[in-house]
Amino acid sequence: MMKKTLRLIIAASIIMLCACEKESYYHTMSIIRPLGAGVVMADQEYDTLSFYTTDNFQLISNAEWAVVPDSMKNGRIKNSYYHIWTVVSPIVFEANTTGQPRLGNITVRCYGDNEWNQTAIASFYQLSWLDITRPRPKYSYKDGTINGAAFEAVDSATQITDTICFYVYDDWTLSGGSFVHPKETSGKKGRNKIAVDVEENPDFVERETTLTLTSRGVATPIKFKQKAKKKE
């Protein structure tokens, strides 16, 4: 009886082993980044899309301003059992000079043996203004999404200096303004902190003026509002 049971166990093991050998490959894919919609600035040059997959893939953009490099449009992955590959692709952006935010989608299509095919969408939401942190942006919303931003500094009548802070991806210029005078009116890409001289307000009425920050063809107004001189 014992020998018969042992022979049955060995036979069952051989059947299970054969079944494992004939099992089809494991397939999977998923977006890692961005989760939801990735937010990019109006003048931002590129960002990255990353996903994991076990199979060949295609990357297809539906927006002319969000470009997938030719080298990443089609990728071949050697599928090996339970081997998951992580793929990172740059996405190159054209500057947003439309004056409105815009949404672009990158379709990630993965395909393998046994007619396996799966797609996912990676979205990028490109803003229409430059990355100004001082004065802090005041956002407007539409359908629960940021749809615009205004930048306004408020100074007292006797204030003689203020500061602008921003990050840009290319050369920049500051222009305009009547009673405010930036210490620098042009510069290079990167993080910038610009001191601004402010003339005292000699009048008993509030006044305002606008400086315009421009980079990569994107112009963003920065308003300066100065309070009225106090009456003695």
Question: Could you say which of 126, 154, 185 is where a domain stops?
Answer: 126
Domain annotation covers residue 10? no
pTM score, whole prediction: 0.82
Going across the sheet that includes 29-33, the strands are 29-33, 46-53, 85-93, 66-67
Does the pLDDT of residue 27 top 80, yes or no? yes
pLDDT the model gives residue 145? 83
CA dihedral sign of residues 118, 33, 39, 172: negative
Bridge partner residues of 126 (DSSP): 40, 102
Pull the structure tokens for residue 177: 């303004």
Rounded distance between C-alpha atoms, residue 5 and residue 100, angstroms: 76
What are 102-128's pLDDT values in tens digits? Answer: 999 999 999 987 788 999 999 999 999
Instruction: List the CATH number of the domain containing 140.
Output: 2.60.40.10
At 49-99, the pLDDT tens digits run 999 998 899 999 999 999 999 999 999 887 666 688 999 999 999 999 999
Question: What is the total count of domains within the chain?
Answer: 2
Torsion of CA 11, 12, 15, 19, to 10 degrees: -160
pLDDT confidence of residue 70: 96
Q: Is the peptide bond before 101 cis (omega within 30 degrees of 0)?
A: no
Looking at residue 86, its pLDDT comes to 93
Sheet of strand 161-168, all strands in order from the earlier edge strand to the far edge: 131-134, 161-168, 190-198, 180-182
**Domain co-membership, 178 together with 204:** yes
> Dihedral (C-alpha) 21, 24, 25, 28: value to the nearest 10 degrees?
-140
Domain annotation covers residue 90: yes
Domain residues for the domain of 142 are 131-226
